[in-house]
Amino acid sequence: MVKLELPANDACWSDSKNARSGHHFATNSCVVEIFQCWRDIDPKVWQSLYPTRCKDRRYYEITEDTLGNQFDHRYFVIRNSSGQVAVQPFFILRQDLTAGVTGRLRTVIERFRKRWPNFMKPRMLMVGCTAGEGQLGSDEPWAVQALQAALQQTARDEKISFLLFKDFPEEYRHLLGFLTKQGYARVPSMPGARMNIESKDFEEFMQNQLGKVFRKNLRRKFKASAAIGALTMDVLTEITPVAEEIQALYLQTHGRSQYQFERLNAGYFEALGRKMPERARFFLWRLEGRLVAFALCLVQGDTLHDLNFGADYRLSPDLNLYFVTFRDLYNWAAANGLKRYATGPLNYDPKLHLQLDLDPLDLYARHTNPVFNVFFKLALKYLEPTRHDPVIRKFRNFKDLI
């Protein structure tokens, strides 16, 4: 979240005919420019984006540069009459609204798509990040209100059917709550998970926080893994020599997921290590020299953010790689004085047994046609993804999602 003070006559805000954005307009109280590349935004403005966040402006540079063929990345640069500036990333794509739907309804949907391939795949404008949770570029009321006006204008210009704030943490509810009065519906997205690191190591964690039956089950898994061979773990930042191997493991995990959005590539992994070396940590597990699992994490403050995991699933059932890698991450975090662990959505069953709590993420969505929006909001109650995952409802803080 940033607010940048600039002189009213700063060169960045010279005659819009000279701007490289190619498009600008005015709301009731602000001037809005739309940029299609982060490099075209004035450096004084761009470099102030998310300075205190784990995923600062460098992360958005990486996602645009490496995932640009998957999404139409764009940026609002909003200036008010006082010279204050806010930057808000967004992107445009066709999105399957039924990604989490299963059973008979899925069968009906697929029948429709045989004739109409884009059925329930509208053109959408999403506010947020293409590879992670959403963040507001400013938490100032003027900027949030101006953002809503900018979205309405852009939706008209681009003939957008749906507007969506993608995967915004619950901390934004007090800022974005007004959207429900603007026709948006707030529904839970697939949540992340989190836990406090309160034990000196994983063994103590098992003794203090896990039940006897599950402790016994875990020790059996660790014993079975050790019987196959000793896994070694390396922690790296520069991973260019093994980036292709890492991506291959990531693709195995990605391919098994029911929910597929972005598709990361080797360039993404390389760029994270190169552009964010003080935060990026790649944990690599090898068996007899062969890479069998990895975890990509960012360290920010006292928190280990676990972004991506990949494993060789030809070995995983016998090696119990998820639990082995989680144990090693916990031990590393505790040894390095970290106090919290946060991870992304999906794979909820082991997280439930390991006593993690859900980390709520919200979707704010609406149809741009007010009449259609009435029916869309009703349908969204049945389409929202958490409705179709029975494990999520077993978490002790499930009600926090609502």
Q: 374-394, pLDDT tens digit by residue?
A: 999 998 888 788 888 899 999
pLDDT tens per residue across span 7-29: 333 333 333 333 345 578 888 78
Confidence of residue 315 (pLDDT cuts 50, 70, 90): confident
Confidence of residue 171 (pLDDT cuts 50, 70, 90): very high
- Are the CB atoms for 354 and 329 separated by under 8 Å? no
Domain count, the chain: 2
156-159 contacts, C-beta under 8 A, 24 or more apart:
156/368, 157/23, 158/92, 158/123, 158/125, 159/123
Largest CA distance in the chain: 70
- Are the CB atoms for 321 and 174 separated by under 8 Å? no
Indicate the SS3 state at residue 133.
Answer: coil
Angle, vertex CA 209, rays to CA 205 and CA 214, nearest 5:
95
pLDDT tens per residue across span 238-248: 999 999 999 99
Give yes or no for residue 118 having a pLDDT over 80.
no
Same domain for 382 and 325? no
What is the rounded CA–CA span in Å between residue 37 and residue 210? 48
382: containing domain: 4-191+360-401
- Are the CB atoms for 288 and 229 separated by under 8 Å? yes
- Which structure tokens are listed for 375? 């029916």
Residue 74: closest CA among 115, 120, 127, 112 = 127
Residue 78: closest CA among 115, 35, 127 = 35
Q: What integer pLDDT is reported at residue 1 of this predicted model?
A: 35
Residue 361: closest CA among 141, 194, 195 = 194
For the chain, what is the mean pLDDT? 89
CATH code of 203's domain: 3.40.630.30
More confident call, 145 vs 94:
145
- Which structure tokens are listed for 169? 């943490």
Confidence of residue 102 (pLDDT cuts 50, 70, 90): low
Report, as an integer, the average pLDDT of 37-45: 95
Same domain for 212 and 100? no
Same domain for 343 and 382? no
What single string gives the DSSP state of each residue in 66-112? HHTTTSEEEEEEEEETTSEEEEEEEEEEE--TTTT--HHHHHHHHHH
Indicate the SS3 state at residue 244.
Answer: helix
Q: What integer pLDDT is reported at residue 119 of this predicted model?
A: 67
Same domain for 396 and 297? no
- Residue identified by tokens 């940590």 is 281
Q: Which residues contact 38 (CB under 8 A, 6 or more apart)?
A: 46, 57, 60, 61, 64, 73, 75
What is the rounded CA–CA span in Å between residue 57 and residue 269? 16
Same domain for 209 and 130? no
Q: Are strands 30-35 and 162-169 parallel, antiparallel or unpaired?
A: unpaired
- Global pTM? 0.87
Same domain for 198 and 123? no
Same domain for 186 and 248? no
What is the rounded CA–CA span in Å between residue 136 and residue 188? 18
- Are the CB atoms for 178 and 323 separated by under 8 Å? no
Same domain for 23 and 136? yes
Residue 25: closest CA among 159, 161, 154 = 154
Same domain for 218 and 306? yes
In whole angstroms, how far apart are CA 27 and each of 148, 158, 196, 253, 274?
Answer: 10, 17, 44, 44, 39
Q: Kindly report the length of the chain.
A: 402
Q: How many CB atoms lie within 10 A of CB 26?
A: 11
Same domain for 146 and 112? yes
What is the rounded CA–CA span in Å between residue 291 and residue 159? 47
Same domain for 293 and 216? yes
Residue 347: closest CA among 376, 366, 328, 325 = 325
- Residue identified by tokens 């179709």 is 388
Same domain for 344 and 369? no
